[in-house]
A = this chain, B = another copy of it.
Amino acid sequence: MAKRIVGSTPKKDGFRMPGEFEPQSRIYMIWPKRPDNWRDNAYPAQRAYAKVAQAVSEFTPVTMLADFDQFEKAKDMLSDKIKVVEMSSDDAWCRDCGPSFLVNDKGELRACDWEFNAWGGYVDGLYSPWDADDAIAEKICDLEGADSYRTKGFVLEGGSIHVDGEGTVLTTKMCLMSDGRNPHMEQGEIEDMLCEYLNCEKVLWLEDGIDPDETNGHVDDVACFVRPGEVACIYTEDEKSPFYEVAQANYKALCNMSDAKGRRLKVHKVCVPRENVLLTGADTIVKVSGSAPRHDGDLCIASYLNFLITNDGVVVPQYGDENDELAIEQIKGIFPDKKVVGVKTIEVVYGGGNIHCITQQVPKI
């Protein structure tokens, strides 16, 4: 049985988090169902998740975790290629509540099991309770037979960090320094924690993300490592874009950063959608206490950067926007050896995230 490791850290034990572009054995996802987050009792979102799972499964095996009540529906809506396993959850964001897997040089698998508090706990979290989500990482580790490091008292979501697998972490102050995460810790203490648990030497801090409200500015909407020494970053020159200022600031910041190995970063531009995505059909989202309310016209965080790199493929959000094709072409240029496929995920965006947010990779060992 997978164990919780007490009294040590990944760095002490020689485990590191690999880059997303390193080989993967499996992708985990969580089946959506919350009627207070998803439109129309989550059915349109479920179709979108099924399409994402199908696209990912062309490159990497996929396990979909589904609540007891949703299990048969998930099986019905997913193709035979997708493995469905019963697991309780509060919502459906495996990037954020799932484990951050680690490897060592001997080909062993472990994971960080970060404390999860629904993106801010009682300060500005999105729902309560979140205990089922917080237990997901441990259960995935059990399924994978991976011992884990539980960071009791340290809150982190997988979507708030990216690593290059060679000693560098990329994150945002907007999220990691927010009041709903670890307000008892100074920036330097958070750096120490990231470096100790991801086995890194350098933390690259961006100021802001483009999603201040829901994720408090997760980095995975704005920038990611595409290989060691190279990052992709959202970029627009359209001052009317709600993401203009953050995109410009982050692009410039990244161009002036160097990684843990001392390499000046090469920064690839990824466009943003031409049109804003605004929530519609909010009246089909159930209102309950304990969950953040949703309104027609809410700005949805539609970023092409929230793609998943998975073995020989990259699975990229599409919105029916004029820039969809440009985004695909740019990402093809960044990954000339991978197959780049688009999946229309506007229903996932309505729920607050995208392809990267709803997936979590297990490295191949």
Q: Which residues of B contact A81 (CB under 8 A)?
A: 1
Q: Which residues of B contact A177 (CB under 8 A)?
A: none
Give min CB distance, A210 to chain B, whole Å: 34
Q: Does A83 lie within 8 Å of B132, measured CB to CB?
A: no
Q: Does A139 lie within 8 Å of B86, measured CB to CB?
A: yes
Determine the residue in chain B with the shortest Cβ distance to A62: B1
Q: Does B1 lie within 8 Å of A82, measured CB to CB?
A: yes
A52 at the interface (CB under 8 A from B): no
Q: Does A68 lie within 8 Å of B3, measured CB to CB?
A: no
A85 at the interface (CB under 8 A from B): yes
Give min CB distance, A345 to chain B, whole Å: 22
A22 at the interface (CB under 8 A from B): no
Q: Does B68 lie within 8 Å of A132, measured CB to CB?
A: yes
- A71-123 with Cβ < 8 A to chain B: 71-72, 75, 78-88
Q: Does A142 lie within 8 Å of B1, measured CB to CB?
A: no
Q: Which residues of B contact A87 (CB under 8 A)?
A: 86
How many chain copies does the complex carry? 2
Complexed CA–CA distance, A3 and B78 (Å):
12
A249 at the interface (CB under 8 A from B): no
Q: Which residues of B contact A3 (CB under 8 A)?
A: 80
Q: Which residues of B contact A143 (CB under 8 A)?
A: 85
A300 at the interface (CB under 8 A from B): no
A257 at the interface (CB under 8 A from B): no
Complexed CA–CA distance, A294 and B75 (Å):
38
A341 at the interface (CB under 8 A from B): no
Q: Does B83 lie within 8 Å of A86, measured CB to CB?
A: no
Q: Which residues of B contact A75 (CB under 8 A)?
A: 1
Q: Which residues of B contact A71 (CB under 8 A)?
A: 135, 139
Q: Which residues of B contact A1 (CB under 8 A)?
A: 75, 78-84
Q: Does B132 lie within 8 Å of A84, measured CB to CB?
A: no
Complexed CA–CA distance, A142 and B76 (Å):
14
Complexed CA–CA distance, A80 and B71 (Å):
28
Q: Which residues of B contact A145 (CB under 8 A)?
A: 83
Given contacts A68-B132, A71-B135, A135-B71, contact A86 B84 (CB under 8 A): no
Determine the residue in chain B with the shortest Cβ distance to A64: B1
Determine the residue in chain B with the shortest Cβ distance to A69: B88
Complexed CA–CA distance, A68 and B86 (Å):
10
Q: Which residues of B contact A83 (CB under 8 A)?
A: 1, 142, 145
Give min CB distance, A143 to chain B, whole Å: 7
Of A80, A86, A88, the most chain B CB neighbours within 10 A belong to: A86
Complexed CA–CA distance, A85 and B144 (Å):
11
Interface 1/0s, chain A 243-259, versus B by CB < 8 A? Answer: 00000000000000000
Q: Which of B68, B72, B85, B132 contacts A88 (CB 8 A)?
A: B68
Determine the residue in chain B with the shortest Cβ distance to A147: B80
Complexed CA–CA distance, A85 and B145 (Å):
11
Complexed CA–CA distance, A123 and B272 (Å):
63
Determine the residue in chain B with the shortest Cβ distance to A79: B1
Complexed CA–CA distance, A272 and B76 (Å):
48
Give min CB distance, A92 to chain B, whole Å: 16
What are 10 inter-chain pairs, A to B, with CB distance below 8 A?
Answer: A1-B79, A1-B80, A1-B81, A1-B84, A3-B80, A68-B68, A68-B132, A71-B135, A71-B139, A86-B86
The 6 closest A-B pairs by CB, nearest first: A68-B88, A1-B80, A1-B83, A86-B87, A3-B80, A86-B139
Given A68-B68, A83-B142, A83-B145, 6 new contacts (CB under 8 A): A1-B79, A1-B82, A1-B83, A72-B135, A85-B143, A86-B87
